Amino acid sequence: MSPADFTRPGSLYGAVDLGARKQALDAQARREAAAQESGGVPAPVIDVDDASFATEVVERSMNSLVLLELTVTRAEQARQYSLLLEKLAAENAGRWTLARVDVETSQQIAQVLRVQNVPALYAIFQGQPVAVVPGIATEAQLRDWLSQLLEALAQYLPPAGEAPGAGPQEPPADPEIIEAERAIDAGDLDAATAAYERLLTRSPNNADAKLGLAGLGLIRRTQDVDPAELERRLGDPADIDAQLLAADFELLSGDVDAAFDRLVAVVRRTAGDDRNKARVHLLGLFDTLPAEDPSVARARRNLASALF
C-alpha cells in the first residue's frame, strides 16, 4: 500500500477556519509545554470541537499523523470502541495522536468530512483525510489497518519512540500567507486579497494563494446575502443568480457534492448566456478545493456530460 492508495476527499484547511495557521503557533507552544510536564509523552486522546478542530487536528497533522475518532460519547458501544482506540494510542505514543469528536455537539466537522455513520475513524495527514475506517472494527482489523497506514506513511513519520517534531519540519508558511490569514481574522478581506495576489505575482502556481483567493470569493459573495430572501428566490427557476449563490452556501457548509450537482443541473437545463454563467461559476468553485479532490473530478466528468 502506498500513500496514493488512500482516499483524499479534499483539503480541510480553510474549510473550517481560514485563520488556523496563526492560531496554531500558540497551540503548538501549549502542546510542547504540556509534553514537558508529562515527561514528553503525548496525551492519549485530545477532545476536539468545531472551534479547536483547525488547530488541534488540521495544523497538528501538518507535521504528524492524527487519527480522528468521530463518535457519540453517550453510546455504550461507542465508548467501548473509544477505549480500544485509547489502548492503541498508548502503544503507539509518539507515532500518531488520537483526536476525538462528539458529533452530537460538533456537527460542522461531521459535515466537512461528509460522515454518514459513527463511530468512524479517519487518518488525517498534512491537512487531509488519507484513510478511513467506517463503522466499528475489531482490534485485529484496526491493528492491520494501522500497520498498513504507518507503512505507507513511514518516510514522512518519525521513527517509533521518537516524538513528532523531532525530525524534519514543515517549511514555515510564506509571510504573505500569514499576512493574508491575519487580515482575514481582522475582517479585512481587501488586505487578505492583496497579500494573496502579491504571492501569486511572485509565485504564479502557489496552491495556497489560489485556494485562499477562491475562498475569499465565496466569503465576499455570501456575506451580505439574506438566506430567507435567497430561499424565496430559489422558487423561480429562471433566477440563475440565486442558484449560483445557493451553490456557494452549500460549498461553505461542506456539502460539496450538492453544490456541484446543483450547478451541473443548471448547465443541463439552460442555454446561451445562462448556461455559460453557470459553467464559469462552477469552474470557479473547483478552485476552492485541491485539483485532486475526488468531488472535483466527479463534477468535471458530470459537467463534460452536461455540455456535450
Whether 55 is covered by a domain: the verdict is: yes
User: In the structure, what pLDDT confidence band is assigned to residue 150 with cuts at 50, 70 and 90?
Assistant: confident
In a domain, 170, yes or no: no
Residue 80 above 80 pLDDT? yes
Structural domain of 134? 3-156
Are residues 152 and 14 both part of a single domain? yes
Q: What's the whole-number mean pLDDT along residues 191-212?
A: 90
pLDDT at 1 over 50: no
Residues 37 and 145 in one domain: yes
Residues 275 and 269: their CA atoms lie apart, in Å, by 8
Strands (E), 40-127: 46-48, 65-71, 96-102, 120-125
Q: Which pLDDT value is given to residue 3?
A: 30
pLDDT, position 49? 87
Query: Above 70 in pLDDT, residue 171?
Result: no
Does 292 share its domain with 275? yes
Say if residue 249's pLDDT is above 60.
yes
Question: What are the Cα distances from residue 271, in Å, to 93, 202, 217, 248, 287?
Answer: 58, 39, 25, 21, 24
**Do 106 and 201 lie in a common domain?**
no
Looking at mean pLDDT, say which of 18-22, 60-64, 84-88, 112-116 comes out highest. Answer: 84-88
Name the pLDDT band for 28 (thresholds 50, 70, 90): very low
Mean pLDDT across the stretch 5-27?
38
Mark whether 295 and 199 lie in a shared domain. Answer: no
pLDDT band at 24 (very low <50, low <70, confident <90, very high): very low
Say if residue 2's pLDDT is above 50. Answer: no
Higher-pLDDT residue of 225, 174: 225
In this structure, is residue 161 part of a structural domain? no
Q: What is the mean pLDDT of residues 64-72?
A: 91
167 part of a folded domain = no
Average pLDDT over residues 109-135: 84
Quick one: 105 and 206 in the same domain? Answer: no
Backbone angles phi and psi of 284, in degrees to 5: -65, -35
Residue 173 resides in a domain? no
Segments in 153-226 forming alpha helices (H): 175-185, 189-202, 207-222
CATH number of the domain at 30, please. 3.40.30.10
Q: In the structure, what pLDDT confidence band is assigned to residue 50 with cuts at 50, 70 and 90?
A: confident
Residues 291 and 230 in one domain: yes
pLDDT confidence bin for 294, thresholds 50/70/90: confident
Sorted by sequence, the CB contacts under 8 Å of residue 113 that are 6+ apart come out as 9, 12, 70, 122, 129, 254
pLDDT at 34 over 50: no
* Mean predicted confidence (pLDDT) in 211-217: 90
**Cβ(162)–Cβ(144) under 8 Å?**
no
List C-alpha distances in Å: 98 to 57, 64, 117, 122: 9, 11, 19, 10
- Residue 15's pLDDT is 38
State whether 63 and 144 are in the same domain: yes
Residue 304 has pLDDT above 50, yes or no: yes
> In this structure, are 146 and 7 located in the same domain?
yes
Same domain, 275 and 140: no
Mean pLDDT score of the chain: 80
What's the mean pLDDT in 64-75? 89
**Residue 308 maps to a domain:** yes
Residue 279 lies in a domain: yes
Domain count, the chain: 3
Confidence of residue 165 (pLDDT cuts 50, 70, 90): very low
Q: Are residues 16 and 151 in the same domain?
A: yes
Based on the fold, state whether residues 60 and 137 are members of the same structural domain: yes
> Residue 68: is its pLDDT beyond 90?
yes
At 12 the pLDDT is 39
